[in-house]
Amino acid sequence: MGRRRQSVTIRHVAADAGVSLQTVSRVINDEPNVRPEMKERVQASIDKLGYVPSIAAQRMSGSRSYLILAINDRDRTIADWRGRQGVDWVDQMLLGGMLKCAELGYRMIFELVDTHSDHVERELRATIAALQPDGVILTPPHSDNPLIVDLLHHQRIPFARIGSLGGEAGIALVMDDEGAARLATRHLIDLGHRRIGFIAGSPEYSLSRWRVDGWEAEMREAGLGTDGLLAEGDFSFASGEAAARQLLGGTNPPTAIIASNDQMSLATLEVAREKGIEVPGQLSIVSFDNTPIVRFTQPPLTAVDQPVAETVSRAVELIIKAQRGGPRPAEPTVVRGSLVQRGSSAPLQ
């Protein structure tokens, strides 16, 4: 394949408008010290010639790349894609991130990085060196990976940590997992439930703990006990199955169960069916995530919706603000989720 050069460069525009390269550059970047009439003339040439600056060249000369890098855990993401269970986390990320980026003149690039590998650092360093992004968005469990956080911090690249509260580095954003868990718990209490079980997610994710905290707090405040009502899963269907069996197998089983994601809720539903326990007649189920499938189960699942798109959108805004010299927000940004009521939760009979 032959050399493929930029067809219209800043040079063509400068010549066409009869000004220097600098002036064109100033117009492109909306910098001061250009007379309005000059600016107009240059803009006219740009439009006429259909000129678009080359990101590569801009980056080369040390300016912005207008690229925001979003990274997800490789194994987990690929497993979700292969599993085809309708997990649309990536889609919602892209929805929120790409649209906001486009709005602000940026571009979002989505990448997979292996959290567990010994060479996370090298892998990420290579991606950054290659792409030179202006900012990075971290999702769980990357958000809490000290190797990644330190690397970004030292390279002085603005970055967002979604689902993380900790530390002095990076911009923290959370989806109010504790509040959402309280919401779900309160919903069940309001329906008359007293023994409300909880299936926790993988301890590798901070948000797993927060969800448990919310449930415990709401139960405590309602004067309800939680002994024997907590089971630990890891977000997988299999782990949800085991947890549900544990909770429903006791002598005094819960009348409602909150599971920390949809897969584990599905598993709970399945275990209930197996045991001949009617949902929601004898057991209410509330799920987390609200992925597409929860509308198609029998009954459809009441679920806490995770505002992934909005959170990523906010992350983009904050990163770009930070990159432009704005101050790092002192407090984590909290984006609240909502409870979507469907057929799987009902009054205690």
Partner DNA sequence: ATGAAAGCGCTAACAT
Partner DNA sequence: ATGTTAGCGCTTTCAT
DSSP H or E run through 151: helix 146-154
Does the N-terminal peptide bond of residue 329 adopt cis geometry, omega within 30 degrees of 0?
no
CB of 49 to a second copy, least distance (A): 11
Helix, strand and coil content of the chain, in percent to the nearest 5, comes to 45, 15, 40
CB burial string 143-169: b at 16+ within 10 A, e below: bbbeebbebbeeeebbbbbbbbbeeee
User: Would you give the DSSP letter of residue 326?
Assistant: P
Segment 61 to 120, residues that bind DNA, using CB under 7 A: 61-63
The residue to which tokens 């007649």 are assigned: 281
Q: Residue 50 Cβ, how far from DNA at the closest point, in Å? A: 12
Does the protein bind a second copy through residue 88 (CB under 8 A)? Answer: yes
Q: Does 120 bind a second copy (CB under 8 A)?
A: no
CA atoms of 245 and 266, how far apart (whole Å): 13
Number of residues that bind DNA (CB under 7 A): 31
Beta carbon nearer to DNA, 65 or 115: 65
142 secondary structure, DSSP code: G
Q: Find where tokens 């009617």 sit.
A: 278
Examine residue 85 and tell whether it contacts a second copy (CB under 8 A): yes
Tokens, residue 336 = 């609240």
Confirm or reject binding of residue 114 to a second copy (CB under 8 A).
no
Q: Which residues partner with 333 through β-bridges? A: 173
Instruction: Name the segment binding a second copy (CB under 8 A); options: 6-14, 169-177, 192-200, 228-236.
Output: 6-14
**Contact set for a second copy, span 137-176 (CB under 8 A):** 155-158
- CA pair distance 316, 136, nearest whole angstrom: 9
For residue 144, give the DSSP letter. Answer: G
**238 counts as binding a second copy under rule CB under 8 A:** no
Please give the residues from 7 up to 66 whose contact with a second copy meets the rule CB under 8 A: 7-8, 50, 52-57, 59-60, 62, 65-66
Helix (H) or strand (E) holding 137: strand 135-138
Binding DNA by CB under 7 A: which of 30, 35, 168, 227?
A: 35
Cβ neighbours of residue 26 under 8 Å, at least 6 residues apart? 32, 33, 34
Partner from DNA, a second copy, none binding residue 293, C-beta < 5-8 Å depending on class:
a second copy
Interaction between residue 328 and DNA (CB under 7 A): no
Per CB under 7 A, the list member of 53, 97, 179, 197 interacting with DNA is 53
Stretch touching DNA by CB under 7 A, among 14-22, 282-290, 297-305, 313-321: 14-22
The nearer residue to a second copy, 132 or 260, going by C-beta atoms, is 132
Count of residues that bind a second copy according to CB under 8 A: 63
Q: Which stretch binds DNA (CB under 7 A): 22-30, 117-125, 243-251, 337-345?
A: 22-30
The answer to whether the bond into 141 is cis (omega within 30° of 0) is yes
Residues that bind a second copy (CB under 8 A): 1-8, 50, 52-57, 59-60, 62, 65-66, 78, 80-82, 84-86, 88, 90-92, 94-95, 98-99, 102, 107, 109-112, 122, 125-126, 129-132, 155-158, 291-293, 296-298, 309, 322-325
